[in-house]
Structure 1
Amino acid sequence: MYEQSRSARSLFIATWIAGFGLAGCVSGQEADLVGDDAPAAQQQGLTEGAPLKSHDASCLQMQDQGTWSTYASYMTSVGPALGLPNILEDLNRAGPVLTASTDPSATGYKGGFRWNDGDMATTEWVPQGLTAGVSGAANVAIVSWHYAASSPDKGVRISLADISDMSASAVNYRHILLVRPTGPGTFTTVAEHGGGLAWYGNYLYMADTSDGIRVFDLTQIRAVSTSATCETQIGKVGSEWCAYGYRYVLPQVSAYVVPSSITSPCRPKFSFLGKDTRGTTDVVLSGEYCNSTSAQCPYDGSTPGLGGRLYRWPVDASTSRLKTVNGVVKPESAYIMNEPNVQGVAPINTTSATTSYWLSSTRYNGALFKVSTSASHKAYLSGSGQWVRMPEGMHATASGTNLWTVTEGYGGTTSSAAGGRVVIYVDQAAVD
């Protein structure tokens, strides 16, 4: 009877916390003190499309693993460090630029490209995150792909795409395998979903679903062997360094990890990332994918799928690393999104306020939601021809000009117009 009572009581408390939405940092002891006496009026569900709700994230932190110099030193024997300019001179694939007969429907559509035929059709790799930036005179998009096939798990690869001239017939790109150094001259794959990216300075941030955010140094790319031996191998093999046949590897340099002592509901998932340069401090955005079935979230209450949280992690402008105090970084603010199936986030750059965002979602097979703390969402739906199907990561140019997104592909089609994998950009003003 005691255990039954405790279980029922715990469920009651969790539901109350979920509905109240601001109690994310109430400890177990404190919850026990107030849970049975919580007024019924406070046991509220969430409302899809409602304004963003401020969330108390003071219980949450990440610790810098501090492997910056160690991991970099492990890779020195693999070969000379290469930066983006080197790789942009060695792009080996071409993705046709979309035309009037091949582009998908999206509000404010301006342009885009699809991948080559092999990458449109592969079932082994699926596009996920997207970020963009500048390398020298080149505009560059970076897209992450997670490995969806069976063992061995090849982890995550990224595509570096030169998007400087979208009036050309094709966008040139190259895949690079992400790796984690394991010792001097040795490395392995990064067995993660790669659901989101953000690019600051020389650092590429990637979502680590269960634990936090991994960081890769774009100045530390290494060339490895493409011999027949290396097609099925990773790391040091005899006198060669292998990466499953990929020509280049991008090594992890550190990670920001949520301590194991922080558990649900305080502990979030890191499903996707974004980049926000509004306000006085740049931030990396992180958010949770939630749905009504397999990925319900702690703050859903009576409305599973809506409790995904969005966090703002401050960036140190002098280092492009997250801003830490004694090796610890804390979110500067957080929100409950009131939207299901969120896959990406981008800031609305027409305002300096940090309380409005675009969210890409696979709700309704594809949607773009304009959200803020002050108004219910504005929705652009794929079923109405207003947005692309199955959108994933997003990037908004700080100038307020273009909003980019990548899709993972819909229904197995390789037709870019019918829902196949694309990278597109639209006019930010058209969806504002």
Structure 2
Amino acid sequence: MSGFSPGARKFFAVVWLTGSSLAGCGPAMEPDAPDEAVGTGAQPLTEGAPLTVHDASCLQLQDQNTWSSAAAFMADVGPALGLPAVLQDLNRAGPMLTASTHPPATGYKGGFRWNDGDMGTSEWIPQALTAGVSGSTNTAIVSWHYALTSPDKGVRISVADISDMSASAVNYRHLLLVRPTSAGNFTAVAEHGGGLAWFGNYLYLADTSDGLRVFDLTQIRQVDTSTACETTLGKNGTVWCAYGYKYVLPQVSAYVMPASLTSPCRTKFSFLGKDTRGTVPAVLSGEYCNNGDTPCPYDGNTPGLGGRLYRWPVDAATNRLKTVGGAVKPERAYLMNEPNVQGVAPIMTTTATTSYWLSSTRYGGALFKVSTGASRKAYLSGSSQWPRMPEGMHATGSGTNLWTVTEGVTGVTAPALGGRVVFFVDQAAVD
């Protein structure tokens, strides 16, 4: 992919954006960032510039509050299974990457590739990554977008046991995400699957146009895997099917933007991240923007740079988003000043919530360290510092490892050359 040299900077002017939807003083300044300027109105957007604090006071999400009814709809499908049960039934093996097969990445420590079928399939494409601990098992969860249209199978996730990265392979299994529609029935989740964030028993999924979908990892159900089920979804006679997958993970609720919200207040949920820094944990969400077919409302004359990054507060006691009067407001928002962003992770070596890593397909693949106080630091695929086509990320709370997944270059299966991989680097090496 063509682009500017790593140190180059292009200066652009952005048009003045007006309208009542932009009114308001925005979120209060956080104690760790007293000198930040809030970006409202005309702003010169510069690629690689520090994050610009953005007034997001017009934006909110509303809880669809289907927590109880969704779980009740799945009761007839079978007993609820937790994630630990699935982790005892992993059926695929992804070989570990070696010195000769891993992609270039600054601070590389380890990783794995998928099995041969998953490396080469054109039906499913990896997108997002999150991680955590289930029982005593360190677990990575990766989402895959279904690339075909008839039928649209929606989104599947892979749960992988990453407890022992010195073994010869990582064991994993795919599950299909579903949305309950009525008692004893469900449908596919027709989304891109571009973002995941795991809090407690809840898995948050980016809903590009509307907000966040929430799935309950204690509500996994086993379904039929007979030949008749390979082309069927939902109830089929006396059994339930999921296109041949053995397990389904059901949606239990969603946080959506009111229909009355319009651009530029209305945003896109392209990718997600998990941030446990500060006094309030947060789901991070951001917009993918480029200078071609996917501009963003704040781009103006600076295509691709106006993508916004939001912090959505999480109630640490319930692991649900914090609501006030039935609405969730972002506690913080930024203009990223970066194009083609695909993922985000917090800089865990600081308690301040003003610095992040951004995963981008700019320059064919890049990792950007960004903050409100300094211009970005870039690790580029063209300089053998980062792999091609990086997507979602997860930073371990200990400040040790930064995990990421790659989408894979079309037609390439060799992991060192752009094939699909999951790997981690030393956070300190890219800090």
TM-score normalised by the chain length of structure 2 = 0.92
Alignment of 1:300-319 (within 5 A): 300-319=299-318
Q: Secondary structure at the match of 2:229?
A: helix
Distance 1:417 1:44 in 2: 40
Q: Relative to 1, partners in 2 of residues 1:23 and 1:292: Cα closer, same or farther, differing over 3 Å?
A: farther
Distance 2:52 2:383 in 1: 28
Paired position in structure 2 for 1:344: 343
| 1:227-281 per-position Cα deviation (integer Å, ceiling 9, x unaligned) | 1111111000111100000000000000000001001000000000000000000
Distance 1:218 1:241 in 2: 19
The answer to whether 1:15 aligns with 2:32 is no
User: Deviation of residue 17 (structure 1)?
Assistant: 2.0
Distance 1:17 1:360 in 2: 28
User: Deviation of residue 421 (structure 1)?
Assistant: 0.1
The alignment of Structure 1 onto Structure 2 pairs a total of residues equal to 402
Paired position in structure 2 for 1:334: 333
Q: Secondary structure at the match of 1:71?
A: helix
Distance 2:425 2:175 in 1: 27
Q: Secondary structure at the match of 1:229?
A: helix
Which one has the largest radius of gyration? Answer: 1
Paired position in structure 1 for 2:183: 184
The answer to whether 1:228 aligns with 2:227 is yes
Paired position in structure 1 for 2:114: 115
The answer to whether 1:25 aligns with 2:17 is no
Paired position in structure 2 for 1:367: 366
User: Deviation of residue 70 (structure 1)?
Assistant: 0.2
| 1:116-166 per-position Cα deviation (integer Å, ceiling 9, x unaligned) | 000000000000010000011100000000000131000000000000000
Letter in 1 for 2:426: D
Distance 1:142 1:185 in 2: 26
Distance 1:216 1:245 in 2: 20
Letter in 2 for 1:239: T
Q: Secondary structure at the match of 1:15?
A: coil
Q: Secondary structure at the match of 2:125?
A: strand
Distance 2:52 2:419 in 1: 34
Q: Secondary structure at the match of 2:241?
A: strand
Alignment of 1:94-243 (within 5 A): 94-243=93-242
Paired position in structure 2 for 1:39: none
User: Deviation of residue 53 (structure 1)?
Assistant: 0.2
Q: Relative to 1, partners in 2 of residues 1:225 and 1:401: Cα closer, same or farther, differing over 3 Å?
A: same
Q: Runs in 1 of length 4+ with deviation above 2 angstroms?
A: 42-45
Distance 2:406 2:396 in 1: 18
Instruction: Flag structure 2 segments of 5+ consecutive residues without an equivalent.
Output: 1-13, 25-40
Distance 1:43 1:63 in 2: 30
- Name the structure with the higher helix share: 1
| 1:270-315 per-position Cα deviation (integer Å, ceiling 9, x unaligned) | 0000000000000000000000010000111211000000000000
The answer to whether 1:419 aligns with 2:411 is no
User: Deviation of residue 411 (structure 1)?
Assistant: 3.4
Distance 2:315 2:54 in 1: 23
User: Deviation of residue 101 (structure 1)?
Assistant: 1.2
Distance 1:412 1:302 in 2: 35
Letter in 2 for 1:244: Y
Q: Relative to 1, partners in 2 of residues 1:44 and 1:321: Cα closer, same or farther, differing over 3 Å?
A: closer
Letter in 1 for 2:388: R
Distance 2:262 2:236 in 1: 40
Instruction: Flag structure 1 segments of 5+ consecutive residues without an equivalent.
Output: 1-13, 28-41
Distance 2:329 2:366 in 1: 30
Letter in 1 for 2:409: Y
Aligned residues with identical type, % of pairs? 77
User: Deviation of residue 24 (structure 1)?
Assistant: 6.6
